[in-house]
Structure 1
Amino acid sequence: MFKKIALGLSVILTFVLLGACQSQSPKDANSTEKPVVTVTTSFLYDMVYQLAGDEVDRQLLIPAGEDPHLYVAKSSDLKKLQEADLVLYHGLHFEGKMVEALEKTGVAVSKDFKESDIGKMEEDGEMVVDPHFWFDIALYKSAVEVASAELQGLLPDKADAIKENTKSYLAELDELDAWNKEQLAVIPENSRYLVTPHDAFNYFARSYGFTLYAPQGVSTDSEVANSDMIETVNLIIEHKIKAIFTESTTNPERMEKLQEAVAAKGGKVEVITGHGKELFSDSLAPEGEDGETYIDMYKHNTELMVTYLK
């Protein structure tokens, strides 16, 4: 999983481990220089802002809107890691082979997850850890608490403010969960089938009572096996699924081919696609666009599902 990103960044991080990365010590309370926090994804980029605001300079490795599965590391990533006073990453093997290096230079926000709460998924006939935990709001809250503790250690003079921000943000996440349940309740149980390109929504399905089908499997650049295509086509026809969804970081053509296969067997299904009508999965939207924060992203997804599945 994530072989391309893993190869490039594992090389970069090797240099970091040889001494390029600065020590991660708390900033002097009298210093006017902001500490630098480097994160791997847009989810963590938003999370750090919610907790610490402008008290830190944030550096992002994988730009918002890009597909982590296809991301190729750049030389500028080394600079971001060199400048970091704190490195935060997802863990659960989301960052692929660079996990070993990140364990030595950063903190996994998933480090306090209970084993029983971590999902599993099939990849090449084997069961592997599902890294898409952000669609389980309870797990996301746990990640927020880990990030908060690290930020408090980095900025001890701002710890009280970060604690207050954390308390407020956790309350907002509880409100989001309640809002999701209320909105999704209008979708009949026999219509709660979510068909997406790749396997990113298992935690969502577990949280809100959906059945998930993703013919492309784990990776966004893998080919769809004929057996998986046939199984999904039969599912759509059998359950009279109204709509199937594209994602902001995947190619919509494969879902259009699925639509054609359904039509060839006498069925009908709508492909939900186009700017503003795609589900967010592995990335938030770029800043300034709908879905740029975690909460806005989740509301966007929920509203899209309700509109086309109710």
Structure 2
Amino acid sequence: MKKFVKVVVAMFLMLGSVSGVPLSASAKKMPSVTVTTSFLNDMVKHLAGDFISVDMIIPAGEDPHLYEPRPQDIKKLEEADLVLYHGLHFEGKMTEVLESLGVAVSENFDSNEIGVMDDEGSMTVDPHFWFNLDLYQQATERAAESLISLVPEHKEEIMNNTEDYKEELMELDKEVKEKIGSIPEESRFLITPHDAFNYFSRSYNIPVHAPQGVSTDSEVSNKDIDDTVDFIVNNKIKAIFAESTTDPARMEKLKEACAKKGFEVKVVSGEGQELFSDSLAPEGQDGDTFIDMVEHNVDLIVNNLK
């Protein structure tokens, strides 16, 4: 038996030497990248998934606006070779630690492109830039730069992956414009729980209204709710939409308030029937990649408003 073990070990060592790669080198861990969200997890895997290991802080389906970092999350961030995050206060309760440890993929955005005007005429930074596919491409380029700095030996592959992914995003943009444009203008209104679709609204000419502000951490006033109900009734909007990271009961209350004014509106909600705004779907479900998520949202909107 001992002789057999020695022979197997010898063969294993010989195979290692024949390959020309020392066993210790082949077993070496890949550089680690820690990202905050499912969006960045998907992006990084597209760009450099073969050359790095990726760890995600905020699980798919959870709300980044409200996520409280745990001690193990901080440890992941501190031990990573590279940290990538959205910025623009999207990861609201993690901002300070992320600014000290990571790279914001939104850091090079034009400040004139990331604001939204509130009801009082003040400009607020809107973190949901991924609904503007031009900005999402800029974020992709910034992520690629950081990844190339981390693994410069794979610069050419990452650059090629980046260009391929950007082409997919440009094709997606054309598809979305065509589909949203097919909704009759009198029916082209999007009502969501919180104000996450401003970039989408400007990009695809679909007015958006929500009772809550750009962060799910903001307060919802009775006036905001009343204004949203009036907007639905006055524009005879066919359907309003729940989001995957918010409580659908909020939209049911809007429906009840509309009914009191004599108008029936459909609430689009339930598994597989919610809009994705602040997270992709969990892996294995419809909407678990960025491109699939956008297509899911657009098809849901068109099918219920057209």
Classify the TM-score, shorter chain.
Answer: 0.7 to 0.9
TM-score (norm: length of structure 2): 0.87
Structure 1: distance between partners of 2:93 and 2:256 = 37
Does residue 42 of structure 1 match 2:11?
no
Which entry has the higher C-alpha Rg, 1 or 2? 2
Deviation at 1:125, TM superposition (A): 8.2
Counterpart residue type for residue 39 of structure 2: F
- The residue type paired with residue 164 of structure 2 is S
Q: Give the root-mean-square deviation of aligned CA atoms.
A: 1.9
Letter in 1 for 2:150: L
Contact 1:89 1:102 in 2 (8 A): yes
How far did 1:78 drift?
A: 2.0
CA distance in 2, matches of 1:194, 1:48: 30
In structure 2, the partner of 1:21 is none
**Greater alpha carbon shift after TM alignment, 148-157 vs 88-97:** 88-97
Residues 68 and 93 in structure 2, CA contact (< 8 A), matched pair in contact too: no
* Partner SS, residue 87 of structure 1: strand
Superposition pairs of residues 1-310 of structure 1, within 5 angstroms = 32-96=28-92, 98-122=94-118, 126-220=122-216, 222=218, 224-310=220-306
Query: CA 1:221/1:109 → structure 2, altered by over 3 Å: closer, same or farther?
Result: closer
Q: Distance in 1 between matches of 2:95 and 2:66?
A: 17
Name the CA shift for 1:65/1:97 in 2 (closer, same or farther; >3 Å).
closer
Structure 1 residues 93 and 302: alpha-carbon distance in aligned structure 2, compared to 1, 3 A threshold: same
In structure 2, stretches of 5+ residues that fail to align are: 1-24
Taking the aligned partners of 1:161 and 1:281, their CA distance within structure 2 comes to 30
TM, length-normalised to structure 1:
0.86
2:13 aligned residue = none
Task: Tell me if structure 2 keeps the 8 A contact 1:121–1:130.
Answer: no
Q: How many residues align?
A: 282
Structure 1 residue 82: Cα displacement: 2.6
Determine if contact 2:69/2:94 at 8 Å carries over to the other structure: no
Secondary structure, aligned partner of 1:134: helix
Residue range with higher mean Cα deviation, 80-89 or 90-99: 90-99
Cα shift at 1:69? 2.6
SS at match of 2:124: strand
Post-superposition Cα deviations, 1:14-73, rounded to whole Å, max 9, x if no partner, equal: xxxxxxxxxxxxxxx998320100111111111000100232111111111111233222
Q: 1:96 corresponds to which letter in structure 2?
A: G
Contact 1:123 1:217 in 2 (8 A): no
- Write out per-residue CA displacement over residues 163-220 of structure 1, whole angstroms, 9 at most, x where no aligned residue: 1100100000000000101111210122111100001000000100011111122333
Percent identity, aligned pairs only, is 60
Deviation larger for 70-79 or 173-182: 70-79
Aligned-partner SS, 1:230: helix
> For residues 118-153 of structure 1, what are the alpha-carbon distances to aligned partners after superposition, in whole Å with 9 as ceiling and x for unaligned?
122539985321111010000000000000011111
Segments ≥4 residues shifted beyond 3 Å: 29-32, 121-127, 221-224
Further displaced range: 199-208 or 103-112: 103-112
SS of the counterpart of 2:257?
helix
| Partners of 1:241 and 1:105 in 2: CA distance | 45
Contact kept? 2:239, 2:267, Cα under 8 Å: yes
Q: Quote the Cα distance in structure 2 between the aligned partners of 1:70 and 1:105.
A: 20
Three-state SS of the structure 2 residue aligned to 1:55 is coil
Q: For 1:187, what is the secondary structure of its paired residue?
A: coil
5+ residue gaps, structure 1, are 1-28
Contact 1:64 1:285 in 2 (8 A): yes
The AA in structure 2 aligned to 1:95 is: E
Match in the other structure for 1:7: none
